[in-house]
Structures are given as C-alpha cells and as structure tokens.
Structure 1
Amino acid sequence: MSHHGVGLRAVLRSAAFLTAGALAVPLIAGCGSDDDVAKPLAAQDIALVARSQVADGGTLKWAVDDLPETLNTYQADADTGTTRVAQATLPSMFRMDATGRPAVNPAYLESAKVIETEPRQVVLYKLNQQAVWSDGREIGAADFVAQWRALSGKDSAYWTARNAGYDRIEKIERGANDLQVRVTFSRPYADWKSLFSPLYPKDVMGTPDAFNDGARRKLAVSAGPFKVDKVDTIAQDIVLTRNPRWWGKPAKLDQIVLHTVPRDKRVGALADGTADLADLDPADAERIGLAASGKGGSSPLRGGGRTSLSTLRSWARAHGLDPADVKAGRTELAKAITEYLAQQTALKSYGVRKSLEPSYTQLALNGASGPLADERVRRAVARALDRKEIARLVLTPLGLPAVPVGSHLALSGQPAYADDSGALGAQDTKAAQALLADAGWVAGGPVKEEKKGQKAAGPQSDQEEKSDGGHDGEYIVGEDNKGDAGGKHLAEEGRHGGAAGAYAPKGTAAPAGAKAGPLAKDGKALTLRFVLPSGPGSDTLNTVATRISAMLDRIGIVTTITKVSDESYFKDHIAAGDFDLALYSWPSSAFPATDARPIYAKPLPGADGSVNVEQNYTRVGTDKVDQLFEQAATTLDEGEEKSLIREADTRIWAAAGSIPLYQRPQLVGARKNLVNAGAFGFQTPVYEDMGFLKKGARVSASPSQG
C-alpha cells in the first residue's frame, strides 16, 4: 500500500462465521444493479501501434522507485519492481485485460476451466505445447506442484507472505498427457484464476533455501519474452534482455533496464536521457506539457548580469524551481535557471500519457480507540465530506474524469463494481451534526485546560514529527435519505462488530457553509489527529487533507495535521495504529473475495493478547462482512459471487471505517517515439510489443487505444 500506489498482490504479501444480522433485500437492490454497466472511467494511453510499426532493437530505460529487495513476488518485501520483472520474465496463466478482468494468457495456456464440481472442484489446465523454461525443460505439473507446496502454508520453513487459495488445494497431478495439469481443491474456490500467476520454476519453489534466498537477486531460469541478465546494486539497475528460448512473438527491444530514479529526480532523468519512461507527479507532468507546447517561459537572464535578483527570484517562483534555488544568490540562481531552461528544451522530446490507475485513495478512520471508536462519529465524518468536490480538486486539473469511487472492492469497469455509497449517505452537514449530537458531542461544552506542552493545532497546521521509523517505501495499497436510512440499519451491525502530487486549481475556494462551534464531551474537545507523509510526491495528500479538515471544521471537528517522513509513515503510523485520520491508496483486484478480505477482516485477539488486524489498519470490521467474503470465495456461481461482494461492500460503507475518495491519476512521461508503453490502466503490459517507432511510421492521434 502506498501513497504512490503498488500492485495489490505485492501489497498483501506484507502480513500475516457468524451472522450478525440480516440485511433487508430492498437495501441491496438500491445499491447497484446489473442494468448499470460500469465502464472504465479512462482508457489506457500507451501510443498503441501494430508490431509491424515497431523498430527491432533498442534499450528502454524505465524509471523505478527502488531496486527490488527480492525477485520473488511471494515474499513480504516484493514491490512494484518485483512485479514488473515477473511480468516480463515468468509465466502467468491469466493476465488482466483493459477492464481489469482475468483473461487466459495464450502464450502459456490453450485453456483452463473447471471440469468437475462434485465431489471436489477440479480445474484442468491445458498448457501451450511450446512453453518451455529457458533451460529447455517443459513447463509442467512438477512446477505447479512445487509452487503449491511452497505456498500452501503447511511448511513454515518457506518464508511466504500469503497462501490464499493455495491452502485450498488438495492435490495436483498430471493429466492425460504432459501438457495437462489437474488441480483438485479440498473446498470450492471461486478465485482459482488468481493462482499460478506468476508461476516460478520448481528450481525456485522446490526447497525452502531456494525460495527464501535463491530468487532474491537472480532468476537463473525464466520463461517470458525477457530474462534477467543482471541485477546491478551499484548502478541500482535491473537489466532484462531478450530470452532466446522464447517461443512467442520475439521481443522488439534488445533490453529493458529498470533504473532507480527518485520521484523528485524524474524530470531531470528524462531530460538527460537516463530515462525514457517514468511515472510522474502532476507538477512534473505539467512541466513536460509546457515544454511540448513551447510555453515553458522565456529566459529572464540578460547580458552583463543586469537582471535584478528580485526579478530572478520572481521568475523562479513562477516556474516552480526548488525553494533552495529561489533563496540562493544571483550566481547560483542564474545557474539554476539556465539548467531549467536547458531541461525544458530537452523535454520537447517527451509527452505525458495519462489514465487512471487501478487503485483508489481513501480516507482511513482509526476505529480502535478515541472518538472514532464510536460509529456515529465515523459516520458524521463521512457525511461531512463532499467527495465529488475532492475528486474534482485532484482530477479536473489533469483533464481526467472526476468521479468519486463508489466501492471499496472494485473500480468502474470491473464486474463487481457498483456505487454502494448510498448505504452511508451523501454529504449532509445537518445529518453529520445530528450524529455527533447523538454521540454526546455538543457545541460550547466545557473543555479541560490542556497540559503545558501538549500539541494542538488548527486544520492547516504544518507540524513536523520526528521519527526513527522503519521502511515501507510502498505504502501503497454519499447518496439520498433512502440510502442513509438503509445505512442506519446496517450501522447497528457494525457497532457490535466493531495521488501523489496533484494540485489544487488556482483560486479554488474552501467549502462554503456555516461553521459549527467547537464540540466537546466529558471535558474533552473533539480533535482528530491527521497524519500525512511529508516526502516528495505528497502534495496531493496534503492538499486533500487540508480540504477535508476545512469540511470537518464546518461541523465542529478540529483536526491537527502532523507530517512524518515517508519512511515512517506506514510502519510507525498506519500499521501501528498511530493516527485518527490518514490518506493512503489501495489497489483494486480482479479477485476481491481473496485479496480484499484481509483489508476489511474483523480484528481478532491473538493467544498472546495482541490483536491481529491483518491489513485492516482502520481496525473496523464485522462478523457479517467476514462471512460474506468467505461465501464469495467458495461459490462457483459468478453471479452469486458478484452479489455477495456487493453486499459486503454495502456493509463496509455503513461501518464507515474507510471512505473511498477518487481513483488515482496515472501520469507517465514517455519519449514521443516510444510505443506500446505508458499509462497502462488496468491492463497487464505486453512487454514483447514495447519499442521505438520505425522511421516514417505514425502513432494514432487518439490517446485511448486500449
């Protein structure tokens, strides 16, 4: 989980059924319908062309945040870089299409389907007869068996991060021939398509030592269009080269180099040619857009040093130069401006490709203790939010659809998506104030004097918190009155159970409306601590948090904003429960019954007295939601599974532990002649088709060709 965003399966590899009440059928019917066909809000933008228009050869330099700690995606410290390597070099039985649905990968499979349901579910995989590992051995049942045994959870010597699905397998055996693999499940498993993607060779999965250490810095055997040539810890690069044993369409590129570039250095890397492709923050994307349009600004520098320092600083501020440069003297500032202008010239060779990531940003409310342990207060916070305004704040300046996310478990375009926010209700200041009053928080109540030295701040406080921290660079990761009435009934159950870098448009006003007086209860003011990261790329979260704070201020809730280092944000605050309010992103999944369950599972006490929250960092959960996830994971009826997922989402909305806000923007700086790469949206990249445009060929003018 990350405020930068990462693949969900990498995120969920980082951790460790009683009916609580009936849900009235009319409430579910009002929360979403199959008649409303959801579509992706934004198509992919990858400069799509036919392979015949792609030149043979060349090296793609692709900026990544960090050198992966491991090349084994099933370990806890796997990250986005790990996933990219696996996608390019290893088999995946299924890959995601443009709408986030799993589709058979014909490079490895002729077919895969459930062939028996009684007495056991049996899935038969028919493998592509040409599919071989780079050492010449056929991909077969032995590889499936080794991966199942490693990930089943039965052998603690394997340092696995998760075993969901693999723990339901009873046996794996060869089918009628070497190209067939029969997988028999001990109990039904709806998300069987999530398994064996990626598939590692038995050399990696066969022993605990090979699994734990053997694939951390090398993959000796692969089976994709590329293979791992080397991992350079000095240059912080991973070099992928064409796989000579690849049986599919040959890769157009000679090499893909995953090159480590910090997010605040991405523009410089593009300008000096050390990167061809890089995820960007909106301010950097805007800068590339200005360069491409020739509106980067004329130089303020004049001969003989006649330009005043105040003029140089004014120009530097207007063009977003580093604050340290703006404060520098004339010589240093003139040098910085010269460098900036040179970069703008170089950036004319690049464009910005944009879509929406398959992930969303949410407001997390910590329900473990304090005022937010009361569901009425959580619901009041949620009813105070204008989610449409927040989505417009982030996405409209980028030219992307500003539609609030209506589901915790899917995004628009995916089969399970429906706007279930009606279970909670739309923005309504009076309703929010009534909820707070019902919870005993009243305006003008007596407040005990704070102890000397106690921190307190208003909604726009900019405190800096020191923390030794840990390391998790990837913390990624309302409707009408009728809907609110439904949510109220759902709330009774919950009570017993339990992007980076966007900017606000210039001149955007704070929410209008009358402000309530400060609220108090039992001598304490209603103050919530809003914890945020402070590193590069956190501009969006800070802008959104300031707007949310203003919205809460209108109903009498005071927020104190505390900024912490990126290194400590997730481990020391989110995972540790040291926050009241926080913003972070969860990726969506094609398999929510499996992948989203630990995010919303009811925390359970452990034998040692601790509480196991899995990935539910809001600490808000119910028995009924747990039961619905289990039912969804075990049904083989796709329609029933979708209905159960939507019912679970409705109840998650009603519990108000997390409030989805907006789908994250996906902004990618790309060399203009780089094709079949960029803002991929939901779809798994096709690595063998990436490359540089042939001379004389052209890219379609449409940015949405996915």
Structure 2
Amino acid sequence: MSHDGVGPRAVMRSVAFLTAGALAVPALAGCGSEDPAGKPLAGQDIEPAGRAKVADGGTLRWAVDTVPGTLNTFQSDADATTTRIAQAVLPSMFRMDGRGRPVRNPDYLESAEVVETEPKQVVLYKINQQAVWSDGREIGAADFAAQWRALSGRDTAYWTARNAGYDRIEKVERGKGNLEVKVTFSRPYADWRSLFTPLYPKDVTGTPDSFNEGARKKLKVTAGPFTVKKVDGTKDEVTLTRNVRWWGDPARLSEIVLRAVPRDKRVSALTAGTVDLAEIDPATARRITAAAGPQSTGTPLMGPGAHRSAADELHSWAVAHGSDEEAADEEVSAREKRREKAAKYARQQQALSGFEVRRSLEPAYTQLALNGADGPLADERVRRAVARALDRKELAEAVLKPLGLPAVPVGSHLALSGQAAYADNSGALGHQDTKEAQALLADAGWVPGGPVKEGKEKKEKQKEKGEKAAGAEGKKGGGSDEDTGNESEGDDGTYIVGEDDADGDGGGGDDDKAPRDAGPEGHLAQDGTRHLKQGSAPGAYAPRGTAAPARAGTAPVAKNGKALTLRFVLPSGPGSDTLRTVAGRISKMLERIGIRTDISQVDDESYFKDHIASGAYDLALYSWPATAFPATDARPVYAKPVPAADGSLNVEQNYTRVGTDQVDQLFDQAIATLDDSEHRALIRKADSRIWAAAGSIPLYQRPQLTAARKNLANAGAFGFRTPVYEDMGFLKKGAQGTPGTQGTRKSAEPSSGD
C-alpha cells in the first residue's frame, strides 16, 4: 500500500471534542448566493477519445496493489482492487461524475426517485429493460430484495462489514412489474442513492453460504461490460473479459488484466512492458517526464552517476590508472559497475519514453491526526495550538506544486472542492497564527522555558555547589557579591528554568504560567534564577555574559516539570517519502511554538493496526476518501467514542478519539433530511464543529499520478469520475485523443458532469 497520505480508503464504506460548541463558528457559506462548493481543483486526465478512434480488441495490463482476497465489496477484507473489479462487472445504480456527485447510470436505470415522503419515504427504481445478468436473467426486484436482506444486519449469519442505509429499509417489493422496484424506508434516509451499488445477483446474496464464501474467488454471474474470467493467485493477477451479453456500448478491449505489482517495482514492470497503466510515485513520474526530454538521448541528468562531478571522474581515472594495484583494481570494478548501472538506466529511460504521466487529484485528502484520548492532546487548547501553528498552504505547495497540480489546502473534512457538500469551514478553527498558538499553549499551562523539574539528585548537587560558591565570580545572576546562586560550571548557554514552585516564590505559580515580577528588571530568586518583570517574555534567562542559547526564540514549552514532546508516527515503507517530507515540515512549524516532536517510523503492516487503530501515537498522517455521501460514510470517522460493554472504548473509525454529541446530532439530522439544500447546510455545520474540535487537520488533496502508454485512451488519472470501462482501449494507428478537453495536461478546466 502506498502511504503517500496512507489511509484506510478501502474501508470507508465498511467496518481501511471539547468545548467545540463554545467556539465561534462562521455563518454557513451555503446561505449566500454563490455556491461554496466551487469547482474541482483538477479534472481527470485520461487521453479522452471518441469510441470510433479506439481500436477493437487488445489487452490492457493494469498494475494494482493486490489481488483481492474477496470479490465481495461488502466484506471486511475487500480492498481497492475489489472495488475496481466490481465497477467493471456489476451493476451500479449511480456513479460519480466529474464533480464527485452521484448521477443515475442509464445503463441500469431508466429512473430512480423518491415518490413518497409521508407517512414513509418510498423510492421507486425503474430498471433498464435491456439489463440482464450474464446468465440471461433480467435484473429485477428479487436481486434488490436479496441484497437488502443480506445487508440489513438482521441475519447475523451474513458476514457483512457494513449495513449503513440498508438497516433503514422496511421492505423491498415489486412495482408494476419485475423491472420496477419499490423500496420503503422505516426511517428517512437522505443517502438512498448510495444503496445497491454495486448490486450483486441473488445467486450471491440469497443465502449466507453463497454470500460468505461463494463470491470470494469467483463471480459466476455478472452484469457489466466485462466478466471475471479468472482469479490467479499464483500469477497475482485477475483477468476480466468482454461480456457477450452486455447491452450497452460494447467494450473496445478484449481483456483487462489486473496485475499485482508492488509500488517500488513498477518502474521495472513498465520498462519490461508487462504493464500499460500504473499509479506511480513522484520519483517515477519525474523519470518518465525526463525520458520524454532531450536528455533521454544524451547524458542523463538523473540516475546513476548524475551526482558525480568532473573532478570525481578525474580522480576515479587517476586511481584506476595509478601505481597502487589493489586500489586500481577496486576502482576499475567500481567504474564497471557504474557503467552497467548507467547502461541499464539508459535502457529503462528508452522504454519509459513510450509512456506519459497523466495527473489529477484523488477524491481523497491527507490529514494530520491528533490523538485526543490522553496525554497533552487531550486538552483542546493544545490541539488547537498545534493546528494554529501549521501553514497548510506551505504544506500543500510542498507536495503538489512540484507536480504541477493546484496547491490549495483542503477546507473540509467531509467533502472536496466541487462536491455538493463542500465549503471551506477552516475559519471555525482559525488560520495559521504563531502568537495565537503560543497563547493557547500558555492558557493550557505550557510556557516557554519552564517550569521544568530537574532530577532530584541534580538539584541537590547544584544547591550544594551554590552554597559553596556564594559570592564567587561567575555565579548565577552575574551581579553583585551579595547575590547567591549556583555555579555556572558546565553552563552551555541553554535556558535555565525554575523549579515548579508550589508556594509561588518563583516558579510558574499555581497555574504554572510565567512569573509576574514587580521590579523593572525582574529579580533573582534564592536559587539564582532571574525572573522577569511583568510583560516580559516568559521563562528565565542564563547568567549575564553567557552566550545566547541556540534557537532562543523557540525554547521548548513545559508544564509540571515536563517538556511538551509529541510522538509522531509514520510508515517506513516505499511510497512514504512524501509523508516524511510533510512530517519534517510540520515538526519545524511546531518547533516554532515550543513543541518538540519525536518521529518514529514503523513497518507499513503495523502502521494502522498497531499504532493508529490502537491509539499508540500523538500525531500521524493518513488519508480519508471524500465520498458523495458524507452523512453515511463520514459519521463513523467523527462519531464520539462511547464505552463498550466490556469497558473498552468503541471508537468505530474515529482514530483521533475526538468527538462531540453535537457533531453526532448534526450527522443524525443530515441523514434524515431529504431536502438537498438543508442536508448540505447540516453537513457543512457538522464540518465546522469538527474543525473547531481540532481532532484532525485536513492538509491537501492527494495527488494522483498515473503512467500510461501513450496510445492508451480513456484511462489514466480519473479524478472524481467513475471509470467507463467499455470506452478504454488503444488508439487506432494515426488516431489521436481529443485535444483541449478533460485533463490537467491539456486544460485546467474540469468537466462538470457525465
């Protein structure tokens, strides 16, 4: 799994806050005349071409992360490849358009609408009369009813990962005929369009056995432009082939082979010609871009030897031809290895020249998660201080600007720019403000320079030295002979911090805040620490004449004898370079307000299970998808954790452990509100409250980089839009894609719909 914004994207629709109400929340943007949803920041980049320009036949070899453990998207081990297969072979009542909004899929539905709201909500589906399963049977009410019964949660024999929405259905029945499906809800459900996508045949959902086991490795009956021909675990690939019973536009490709290729092996797969389409990391994207440039035929500007100067080469030649035979042999061998690596790199670059990078933004965002379960971040003020220290614009630019993508910080937890529910609600928390962040920390008792308790043994030793050295030169305070204090022996110019003084004689006082002394220059405490006058910078200073401490303006904040250090957990595997870069910048931003970070890198396999899900972190970076149904899909991510029957805390997918009753109530209201405008307003209000609680800070929309063979049409970086599998294929000889349409390489203007 790539951890460039690592996140449980595949489990968003499955089973991978304190005083927020008191904060000022800006007026909802939806109340104005201008649509706050805006436009997508980037459109899809797929080399669009009319079907007449696409050749009939051919095999598309598509690199994926895994061969899925199941073909049933409703099971807990379903992953992104499971979803990809389902999109190609199963009915979807609604699919996403270029703005990330659900639109009716005419291949399956003639219409779908709410026909009654009182006394209960009723949705009537009219199925396309040509729609049939691959065994020839009509798609009809029996399939809808079987899926509802399987996913409703009423029969625990079904191993389902989610039942959101299906649990609100009271009954599913035929309408005027088998091609009309009447769904009656026991409770109003605004996200009804999310249901029955994908739709499995009753052969799969009809019994627990067929649901639990029958669809894991094969799908005998399908209803899409492709069918599942074979799942081959030994070759790590899934083969899809044309569906001869498909009633829509015939698939241009004969086959699609989904081949599992690790992210760090994709350059080799591309250059070996074993894949035609693959998501890639920024480093690979740079290589492909370089391969298209003039340097691809001359001396490479990157790759082996690119960093070596003329002086390095001259020295190497001299050693290789020198009198020291042993050194010469070693250098000759090293030169030969460098030549072999350079030759291999040149061959790879030549092969990569047949590909291009197609780029967009994923319908997902990377966030900084703050664990509010315990420790310093359990205090809302500290979380808000962390948030106010971040320059989110800088972080977005660091990731997206080098890739030529719009570097705009994400303003919502629940939607992305262009989606119906989107509005920039970050003002509910406030923008970057170092002074405000420092003030929040001080209000929470964390002040620069102290009060930090030193070890008992060290304090006693310093006290003894201070008594013996009273009146000596170089004593603390550096003042008159009457002053007493500790010796300056061993003082390296760092901050000297007072002890936590319970009686108020010189520490932080009862509230651990900076001392407030009456004298114009402050005074010396009996321990030799100089206290400042009221209004001066908090903390204590080194003796007179001592060199200024390093980073004196960013002294660590401390409270109750302990400096504020946060555990920052990151994945260590391939594809995590971007996260590590972002984490480094965040650490520097936090250092400016006195917060230190302890960064630890852990194995990808244990990152979520052993750290994020278990709560063994303070700060972490991972991603969430932005779906078209946030009231359903995002609720478990931001729901207030509640105690479970066994005494543990049930966090659902809220790995920050930060939630409020008010946010839960807003989600509940939104899910039961059928008026679209009111529904969006409630979602935006919930997002404002989530911002105010500062449990997670959205940073940037994830980049989507795809290497595609240059003659491959209608495939690449899809952005929001659901792929149209039947239109994918290879251009006919001499044919070209449609210029000036979708795609960030051709135009920054995104498509507005299907």
Shorter-chain TM range is 0.7 to 0.9
- Once the two structures are superposed, residues 418-458 of structure 1 have per-residue CA deviations (whole angstroms, 9 ceiling, x without a partner) of 0000001110000000000000001121434689xxxxxxx
Alpha-carbon distance, 1:292 to partner: 1.2
For 1:697 and 1:288, the matched residues in 2 are separated by 23
For 1:273 and 1:399, the matched residues in 2 are separated by 27
Aligned to 1:58: 58
Aligned to 2:170: 170
Give the letter aligned to residue 415 of structure 1: A
3-state SS in 1 of match to 2:353: helix
Aligned to 1:436: 441
Superposition pairs of residues 87-102 of structure 1, within 5 angstroms: 87-102=87-102
Give the letter aligned to residue 687 of structure 1: Y
Aligned to 1:289: 289
- Once the two structures are superposed, residues 60-93 of structure 1 have per-residue CA deviations (whole angstroms, 9 ceiling, x without a partner) of 0000011111110001111110011000000000
For 2:84 and 2:161, the matched residues in 1 are separated by 18
- Once the two structures are superposed, residues 300-359 of structure 1 have per-residue CA deviations (whole angstroms, 9 ceiling, x without a partner) of 899xxxx99954999xxxxxxxxxxx9x94433332221111010011110000011000
Runs (5+) with no aligned partner, structure 2: 317-330, 457-550, 744-750
Q: Do residues 331 (structure 1) and 336 (structure 2) align?
A: yes
Q: Is the 8 A contact 2:20 2:689 kept in 1?
A: no
Superposition pairs of residues 146-295 of structure 1, within 5 angstroms: 146-295=146-295
3-state SS in 1 of match to 2:229: strand
Q: Is the 8 A contact 1:535 1:566 kept in 2?
A: yes
Aligned to 1:686: 724
Q: Is the 8 A contact 1:421 1:650 kept in 2?
A: yes
Aligned to 2:652: 614
Aligned to 1:510: none
Once structures 1 and 2 are overlaid, which stretch shifts more, 440-449 or 388-397?
440-449
| Larger Rg belongs to | 2
3-state SS in 2 of match to 1:112: strand
Cα 1:196–1:515 change in 2 (3 A) is farther
Aligned to 2:735: 697
Q: Is the 8 A contact 1:45 1:703 kept in 2?
A: no
Alpha-carbon distance, 1:22 to partner: 8.3
3-state SS in 2 of match to 1:210: helix
Q: Do residues 132 (structure 1) and 132 (structure 2) align?
A: yes
Aligned to 1:630: 668
Alpha-carbon distance, 1:15 to partner: 2.6
Q: Is the 8 A contact 1:309 1:329 kept in 2?
A: no
- Once the two structures are superposed, residues 243-297 of structure 1 have per-residue CA deviations (whole angstroms, 9 ceiling, x without a partner) of 1111111000000000011101111111111010000101100100010123247
Alpha-carbon distance, 1:3 to partner: 3.0
3-state SS in 1 of match to 2:287: helix
For 2:294 and 2:32, the matched residues in 1 are separated by 48
Give the letter aligned to residue 238 of structure 2: I
Once structures 1 and 2 are overlaid, which stretch shifts more, 213-222 or 334-343?
334-343
Alpha-carbon distance, 1:27 to partner: 2.8
Give the letter aligned to residue 206 of structure 2: G
Cα 1:643–1:136 change in 2 (3 A) is same
For 1:189 and 1:23, the matched residues in 2 are separated by 30
Cα 1:309–1:603 change in 2 (3 A) is farther
For 1:12 and 1:608, the matched residues in 2 are separated by 25
Q: Is the 8 A contact 2:71 2:85 kept in 1?
A: yes
- Once the two structures are superposed, residues 4-43 of structure 1 have per-residue CA deviations (whole angstroms, 9 ceiling, x without a partner) of 5799873135539xx995887x832468745145000001
Aligned to 2:578: 540
Q: Is the 8 A contact 1:8 1:595 kept in 2?
A: no
Give the letter aligned to residue 98 of structure 2: A
Alpha-carbon distance, 1:704 to partner: 2.5
Alpha-carbon distance, 1:156 to partner: 1.1
If the length of structure 2 is used for normalisation, what is the TM-score? 0.80
Alpha-carbon distance, 1:213 to partner: 1.1
Runs (5+) with no aligned partner, structure 1: 315-325, 452-512
For 1:366 and 1:570, the matched residues in 2 are separated by 13
Aligned to 1:28: 27
Superposition pairs of residues 440-455 of structure 1, within 5 angstroms: 440-448=445-453
The counterpart of 2:389, out of the listed 381, 384, 402, is: 384
Aligned to 1:353: 358
Superposition pairs of residues 352-431 of structure 1, within 5 angstroms: 352-431=357-436
Aligned to 2:547: none
Aligned to 2:702: 664
Q: Percent identity at matched positions?
A: 71
Cα 1:276–1:242 change in 2 (3 A) is same
- Once the two structures are superposed, residues 452-475 of structure 1 have per-residue CA deviations (whole angstroms, 9 ceiling, x without a partner) of xxxxxxxxxxxxxxxxxxxxxxxx
Q: Is the 8 A contact 1:6 1:79 kept in 2?
A: no
Q: How many residues align?
A: 628
Aligned to 2:554: 516
Q: Is the 8 A contact 1:141 1:181 kept in 2?
A: yes
For 1:29 and 1:35, the matched residues in 2 are separated by 12
- Once the two structures are superposed, residues 592-634 of structure 1 have per-residue CA deviations (whole angstroms, 9 ceiling, x without a partner) of 0000000000000001101100000000000000000010000
For 1:557 and 1:311, the matched residues in 2 are separated by 46
Tell me the C-alpha RMSD between the 2 structures. 2.6
Give the letter aligned to residue 619 of structure 1: R
For 1:650 and 1:615, the matched residues in 2 are separated by 19
For 1:522 and 1:114, the matched residues in 2 are separated by 60
For 1:449 and 1:297, the matched residues in 2 are separated by 64
Give the letter aligned to residue 689 of structure 1: D
Give the letter aligned to residue 737 of structure 2: V
Cα 1:450–1:574 change in 2 (3 A) is farther
For 2:663 and 2:167, the matched residues in 1 are separated by 21
Q: Is the 8 A contact 1:68 1:78 kept in 2?
A: yes
For 1:312 and 1:31, the matched residues in 2 are separated by 67
Cα 1:572–1:374 change in 2 (3 A) is same
For 2:7 and 2:84, the matched residues in 1 are separated by 10
Once structures 1 and 2 are overlaid, which stretch shifts more, 256-265 or 290-299?
290-299
Cα 1:309–1:149 change in 2 (3 A) is farther
For 2:622 and 2:279, the matched residues in 1 are separated by 18
3-state SS in 2 of match to 1:682: coil
For 1:389 and 1:308, the matched residues in 2 are separated by 36
For 1:604 and 1:29, the matched residues in 2 are separated by 29
For 2:239 and 2:32, the matched residues in 1 are separated by 47
Q: Is the 8 A contact 1:88 1:224 kept in 2?
A: yes
3-state SS in 1 of match to 2:554: coil
For 1:97 and 1:577, the matched residues in 2 are separated by 36
Q: Do residues 44 (structure 1) and 44 (structure 2) align?
A: yes
Cα 1:108–1:29 change in 2 (3 A) is closer
Give the letter aligned to residue 683 of structure 2: I
Aligned to 1:298: 298
Q: Is the 8 A contact 2:204 2:215 kept in 1?
A: yes
For 1:409 and 1:312, the matched residues in 2 are separated by 58
3-state SS in 2 of match to 1:203: helix
Q: Do residues 644 (structure 1) and 682 (structure 2) align?
A: yes
Q: Is the 8 A contact 1:68 1:82 kept in 2?
A: yes
- Once the two structures are superposed, residues 616-668 of structure 1 have per-residue CA deviations (whole angstroms, 9 ceiling, x without a partner) of 00000000000000100001000000000000000000000000000011100
For 1:415 and 1:266, the matched residues in 2 are separated by 36
Q: Is the 8 A contact 1:109 1:126 kept in 2?
A: yes
If the length of structure 1 is used for normalisation, what is the TM-score? 0.85
For 1:39 and 1:213, the matched residues in 2 are separated by 43
Q: Is the 8 A contact 2:169 2:183 kept in 1?
A: yes
3-state SS in 2 of match to 1:27: coil
Cα 1:21–1:310 change in 2 (3 A) is closer
